[in-house]
Amino acid sequence: QSVLTQPPSVSGAPGQRVTISCTGSSSNIGAGNDVNWYQQLPGAAPKLLIYGNNIRPSGVPDRFSGSKSATSGSLAISGLQPEDEADYFCQSYDNSLSGPTFGGGTKLTVL
Amino acid sequence: QVQLQESGPGLVKPSETLSLTCSVSDDSIKTTYYWGWIRQAPGKGLEWIGHIIYSGTTYYNPSLKSRVTISIETSKNQFSLKMTSVAAADMAVYYCARVRGSGNIRWFDPWGQGILVTVSS
Q: How far is CA B117 from CA A91, B8, B9, B19, in A?
A: 23, 9, 7, 10
What integer pLDDT is reported at residue B105 of this predicted model? 85
Listed residue (A77, A76, A109) closest to A8, CA to CA? A109
Average pLDDT over residues B6-16: 97
What integer pLDDT is reported at residue A42 of this predicted model? 93
Which SS3 state, helix, strand or coil, does residue A80 take? coil
pLDDT tens string B65-102: 999 999 999 999 999 999 999 999 999 999 999 999 98
- Is the Cβ of B106 closer than 8 Å to some Cβ of chain A? yes
What integer pLDDT is reported at residue A26 of this predicted model? 95
pLDDT tens string B37-67: 999 999 899 999 999 999 999 999 999 999 9
Question: Strands, DSSP E only, in B13-104?
Answer: 18-25, 34-40, 46-52, 58-60, 68-73, 78-83, 92-102
Cβ separation A45–B104 shorter than 8 A: no
| pLDDT at B20 > cutoff 80 | yes
The nearest CA of chain A is from the CA of B95 a distance in Å of 8
The nearest CA of chain B is from the CA of A10 a distance in Å of 16
The nearest CA of chain A is from the CA of B85 a distance in Å of 22
| pLDDT at A1 > cutoff 80 | no
Nearest CB to B105; choose among A38, A93, A98: A93
Q: How far is CA A99 from CA A3, A18, B36, B117, in A?
A: 12, 29, 11, 24
Q: Residue B41: is it exposed, middle or buried by C-beta count within 10 angstroms (0-12/13-18/19+)?
A: middle
Listed residue (A98, A105, A93, A103) closest to A40, CA to CA? A105
The nearest CA of chain B is from the CA of A101 a distance in Å of 6
Nearest CB to A45; choose among B59, B107, B114: B114
Average pLDDT over residues A63-88: 97
- Is the Cβ of A36 closer than 8 Å to some Cβ of chain B? yes
Yes or no: say if A53 and A68 are a contact pair by the CB < 8 Å rule. Answer: yes
A103: which chain B residues are within 8 Å (Cβ-Cβ)? 45
What integer pLDDT is reported at residue B118 of this predicted model? 97
- Phi first, then psi: give them for residue A98, nearest 5 degrees: 60, 40
CB pairs under 8 A between A and B: 69
The nearest CA of chain B is from the CA of A7 a distance in Å of 12
Which SS3 state, helix, strand or coil, does residue B72 take? strand
Q: How confident is the model at residue B116 (pLDDT cuts 50, 70, 90)?
A: very high
Cβ separation A98–B59 shorter than 8 A: yes
The span from the CA of B74 to the CA of B28, in Å, is: 8
Yes or no: say if B24 and B4 are a contact pair by the CB < 8 Å rule. Answer: yes
What integer pLDDT is reported at residue B45 of this predicted model? 93
A34: which chain B residues are within 8 Å (Cβ-Cβ)? 101, 105, 107
Listed residue (B96, B114, B84, B115) closest to B11, CA to CA? B115
Cβ separation B104–A57 shorter than 8 A: no
pLDDT tens string A5-50: 999 999 999 999 999 999 999 999 999 999 999 999 999 999 999 9
Total Cβ atoms within 10 A of residue A60: 17
Query: Which residues 66-95 of B have a C-beta within 8 angstroms of A?
Result: 95
Total Cβ atoms within 10 A of residue A61: 13
Q: How confident is the model at residue B104 (pLDDT cuts 50, 70, 90)?
A: confident
